[in-house]
Amino acid sequence: MSRPRKCLFLYHYSIHPQFGFMHARIQTWFPFPIQVCLHGREWLSRLMDAQGLAYRRCDNCFPWIADFARAQELSDGQRRMHWADALNAIARTLNPIHEEIFRAYKVNYYWSTHQSEWATDVVFKDASVLKRLYPRFVHHGMTTFASPDVMRFLGRKIALGGNVPARFDGEVVSDLKRRMEGIRIKHRMNGNSIKAYDKAYTDAGSVFRVETTINNEEDFRVFRPKEGGADGPLAWRQMRRGVADFDRRADVSQHANERYLDALASTDDTTTLEQLLALIGHLSTWNGKRVRGIQPFGPEDGALLEAAARGEFTINGFRNKHLQALVFDTPPADAKQARQRSAHVSRKLRMLRAHGIIKKVPNEHRYCLAQRGRSIITACLAARKASITHFMPKAA
């Protein structure tokens, strides 16, 4: 009986023997279009399992792989597969009566790429390194990358002068978004985007990810013959949605990721004053005894640090008595006070040693600045003596 009916979408979730966990959607109205969603990292894990390649997985990334080069070879092989055959096999499981329905009119599915995401993962062995660098990457991306930079990342040709072409009528947007996992930075242009975020922190390794998403293929070109003329001359023509251009789509996305990573490589990674002070501001221990944190901008600790960094101690170092002469304004009144001052400075020396500011000269009762201590004291002295106008442009 003919009557109006609702169009339904049937979702199928499965663990495919090749692609792993995936899902597909089929529309119940003619011509029964199908949408398939696959994840390359899920697929790669199965390839590595088949090869006996050890790895650690965290969600959809790999913080550690026994052989990253071999894993990259396996991943690159995904681009060269015959997509039409693989997707037709999935379609037959979703609509097993396709041949019967279209018996009078032989038609097959034309497979196209609705949306593609291509991620490049940078793995850090030490999580603290990524945690230190990531806020700088975000700040650098938001304050340094202008519209022409984003256009270059996504494959647009920009004149050497850096001006946006007059014929460009699109929109370029950069934004930050705070997620439950952290903050991500994203740049958009004409429906396509490139984003970066800290993907995972594990004891095996930590992952920083740059990801290019293509929704609008009209901005890109592929070296191919005309449509329908496979034997014709090759030329740079507009990229198609069809899976025939998938390898080129992957190539464009990878180059976009690499350009973005190259630009982030210019991020200033020098240690901030805040990070330096965090190293010495907490409780520590020395030979089993608790030692308080150093307050470099306090009057007592500030004077102690400044005394330890004096130029005359650079070569031969200093002793307890040398610091006493600099820390106290007057000589001791008697022997008892001299012992008290010596003990007081000894406790200060223990504090400086516990925080890595100074180190003992072997076989002598002398001390000299450690490299870490020199950096911290130099930064603190510079900050103490700098005027507020020095910091205003930085804050702006």
H/E/C letters for each residue in 39-89?
Answer: CHHHHHHHHHHHHCCCEEEECCEEEEECCHHHHHHHHHHHHHCCHHHHHHH
Cβ-contact 98, 106 below 8 angstroms: no
- Find the helix packing angle between 371-385 and 273-280, rounded to 10°: 120
Q: Is residue 175 classed as helix, strand or coil in its secondary structure? A: strand
Beta strands in 131-232 (DSSP E): 172-178, 183-189, 192-201, 206-214, 221-224
Cβ-contact 14, 22 below 8 angstroms: yes
What confidence tens digit (pLDDT) does each residue in 107-159 have?
889 999 999 999 999 999 999 899 888 888 888 888 777 777 788 888 777 66
Give one DSSP letter per residue of 347-387, joined into a string: HHHHHHHHTTSEEEPTTSS-EEE-HHHHHHHHHHHHHHH--
What's this model's pTM, rounded to 2 decimal places?
A: 0.69
Cβ-contact 78, 40 below 8 angstroms: yes
In a domain, 359, yes or no: yes
Query: What is the distance between the alpha carbons of residues 207 and 129, in angstroms, rounded to a whole number?
Result: 11
Is 277 in the same domain as 318? Answer: yes
Q: What pLDDT shows up at residue 395? A: 45
Residue that is last in its domain, among 224, 253, 269: 269
Is 130 in the same domain as 252? Answer: yes
In angstroms, what CA-CA distances link 21 with 40, 48, 113? 10, 15, 19
Residue that is last in its domain, among 251, 269, 287: 269
Is 237 in the same domain as 333? Answer: no
Strand-pairing partners, residue 351, are: none
Residue 18 backbone dihedrals phi, psi, to 5 degrees: -105, -45
Domain of 383? 273-395
In a domain, 231, yes or no: yes
Query: What is the distance between the alpha carbons of residues 89 and 34, in angstroms, rounded to a whole number?
Result: 12
At 333, which CATH number? 1.10.10
Number of compact structural domains in the chain: 2
Is 255 in the same domain as 317? Answer: no
What confidence tens digit (pLDDT) does each residue in 11-35 have?
999 999 999 999 999 998 888 999 9
Is 159 in the same domain as 191? Answer: yes
Residue that is last in its domain, among 221, 245, 269: 269
Is 359 in the same domain as 211? Answer: no
Query: pLDDT 10s per residue in the chain (396 long)?
Result: 556 778 889 999 999 999 999 999 999 888 899 999 999 999 999 999 999 999 999 988 999 999 999 999 999 988 888 999 999 999 999 999 888 888 888 888 999 999 999 999 999 999 989 988 888 888 888 877 777 778 888 877 766 555 667 777 677 888 877 766 678 899 998 889 999 999 999 999 999 999 999 999 888 999 998 887 778 889 999 999 999 899 999 999 999 999 899 888 877 767 777 777 788 888 888 888 888 999 888 888 888 888 888 777 777 788 999 888 888 888 898 999 999 999 999 999 999 999 988 999 888 888 988 888 888 887 887 777 776 665 555 444
At 118, which CATH number? 3.30.530
Q: What pLDDT shows up at residue 163? A: 67
